A and B are shown apart, each in its own frame.
Chain A
Amino acid sequence: MGVIALDRLEVRLGGRTVLSGLTGELRGRAVGLLGPNGAGKSTLINTLLGFHEPSAGTAKVLGMDARTDRMRIRQSVGYMPENDSFIGNMSGVRFVRYMAELSGLPPAAALERAHEALFYVGLGEVRYRKISTYSLGMKQLIKLAQALAHGPKLLILDEPTNGLDPTARQRMVQLIKEIRKEGSMHMLISSHLLRDIDETCDEVLILKKGTIAAISNIEEERRSHRNFIEMEMTGDTEAFAQKMNALGCECARFAGGRVKVVMPDALSQRDLYITAAETGAEIRRIQTRRDSLEDIFLRAMEYEGVMPRDAQQPAFVDGGKG
């Protein structure tokens, strides 16, 4: 069973079609929801939570229909909204307890879980302070704490690093990674920051103008490009490229001595140095590329319609002289 299953989902709001013909199934432990502003990320989340009614098609969350099983879905989901959303004159622990009780926890259990959730996200020391006195980072964390307190099966995070300074962002990303590693819940993380999604997710759904531009398994992408290497070289790069091709690599040369290589599993970086020495080339700089998500995203933005899986692979273009 997929975490989220969409079947020709269409959502119309205020006379406009915001989401159109969304079809796909997401099975990842942590699913990233990417797209430029206005692509429909928040609308999709709101539809999954039952805030918006689909005008056509279906959306299923953990096998439950978003149209007919709203209460069951909300029972199983923890939601951290994008914007400020809390009750400012409540203390942190009271707010989280309140939310846990609304999710069905008995009062005593809710209080215990509220304390635990606040310590878990790092707000243990300020849990008796009114939320209105919290900093922006703390407000983000308390939204995460209330989403976690009742032990959901799916955690929906809408722009979790929004407005955070680098330290707070790193802490939030680390928390998300820990939750993912713990493994008892799925996550749907909406963000327009590729780096956040790249660091935390194993599958990504890219939206563009209310349609699905791409669905991609980042883990597979990472595995397929783990030996994608960029280099700056001097000397006889043509001989180097020929030798690497002979060894089973895909190698391309660009202006300025830039060389890109996709290495088969059997070879390692040491072979690059050996080959360079043998062909009289010198490696000045070497970089293992990890930004396959950026490639997929940019291609999805350029592609009209749904991008097929094979088109999601960053194409290896021989743009050089060789």
Chain B
Amino acid sequence: MSVFQHEYRPYEGPTTPLWKRPVVLARYGLAEAWGSKITIGLAVLALLPCLVELVLMYLADNPLAKMLVVGNSKVLEINERFFFNLLEVQSWFALVLAAWIAPRLVSFDLGDNAMPILLSHPISRFGYVLGKFIALVLSLSYVTWIPLLLLFVYQCYASPVPWAVGHLGVAFGLFTGALVWIVVLSLVCLAVSSWVKWRVVATGAIFAVVFVPAGVGGMVSAILRTRWGFLLNVPVVMSELWMRLLGVPPFGNPMFWFPNIAIVSVLVVTSLLCVAVLNARIRAREVVRG
């Protein structure tokens, strides 16, 4: 198959191992996701809170600057609560970014009926989902645990008093908490995108999947006078999880203080539902029953 002769020639070169095929999907997925100016804009926007927090950390760690700006107030105390607030903000940005990126990863393939061609190559359905999942998790890492851990490292470096040893749990909490969120979020977004072929509709559906159950849960709790309805509110559940992972003392509405097993169960059930949806939707051929 040389260009100048226009003749077919068989390929006799080396081939990559099978385990690398999801990496190909992830690489093309990342290129697809970050090829959009809106993605770049959202990512830049998502880093603004980190920049603000960085300035605050500088002020808090520089005695002279702190004295000039806030005096002896404890407003600028860098502790678990400080990182918890930042994690919450970044997680909302992650949701927006995921709702934009995930449909680009999956809906294009489904909309153009590319699954028969994609899956006719040596890649399994699991490998396909894994590739897209890796692309999404890496994209969301860029706005969640990576900048947060960088800020943590900066605080360890800039703090005038020994700080790192007493707050190592914060680093663990930031990483684990962000990772749990982006894993669950990625599964939810991929599942919704595989269900809705139209990209814009899929983006709206992702927000709906997060917020509609939260509203329903609120209504259930109000009508039945129970707190368990709030378990349908994934942002609330995640906040509770992050507080425990970062070691933040409980605050806010005591109705949201769920037992650990309830929080884990909600996240596991949500993830399993998403896996079931992906299993049903990511197929080369649909079988019509009857």
Please report A residues at the B interface, Cβ cutoff 8 Å: 13-16, 46, 49, 51-52, 70-72, 74-75, 77, 79, 81, 83-89, 98-99, 101-106, 109, 113, 115-117, 119-120, 124, 132, 143, 146, 148-151, 178-179, 182, 184-185
Contacts and interface: CB of A to CB of B under 8 A. Distances in A.
**Contact residues on B (Cβ < 8 Å of other chain), bracket:** 35 or more
Contacts of B290: 14-16
The 8 lowest CB-CB distance pairs between A and B, nearest first, are: A151-B11, A104-B15, A14-B289, A79-B120, A116-B1, A102-B121, A184-B10, A74-B122
A86 B10 contact: no
A113 B117 contact: no
A97 to B, nearest CB: 9
Interface in B1-55: 1-3, 6-16, 18, 21, 24-25, 28
Interface in B245-290: 283-285, 287-290
B121 A179 contact: no
B11 A109 contact: yes
B123 interface: yes
Given A81-B117, A99-B121, A102-B24, A119 B109 contact: no
B287 A151 contact: no
Contacts of B85: none
Given A84-B113, A102-B21, A184-B8, A119 B3 contact: yes
Contacts of B2: 116
B117 A103 contact: no
Contacts of A81: 116-117, 120
B24 A84 contact: no
Contacts of B120: 49, 74, 77, 79, 81
A179 B287 contact: no
Given A84-B113, A109-B11, 13 more contacts: A77-B120, A83-B116, A84-B112, A88-B108, A88-B111, A99-B117, A101-B16, A102-B123, A104-B18, A106-B13, A109-B13, A113-B1, A151-B12
A179 B15 contact: no
A186 B287 CA distance: 29
Contacts of A16: 290
A28 to B, nearest CB: 19
A88 B111 CA distance: 9
Contact of B288 (A14, A88, A149): A14
B122 A71 contact: yes
B117 A88 contact: no
Interface string B142-160: 0000000000000000000
Contacts of A106: 13-16
Contacts of B210: none
B122 A104 contact: yes
Contacts of B289: 14-15
Contact of B284 (A46, A84, A149): A46
12 contacts: A49-B284, A77-B120, A98-B24, A99-B121, A102-B24, A105-B13, A105-B16, A116-B3, A116-B9, A124-B3, A151-B10, A179-B8
B6 A102 contact: no
Interface in B103-125: 108-109, 111-124
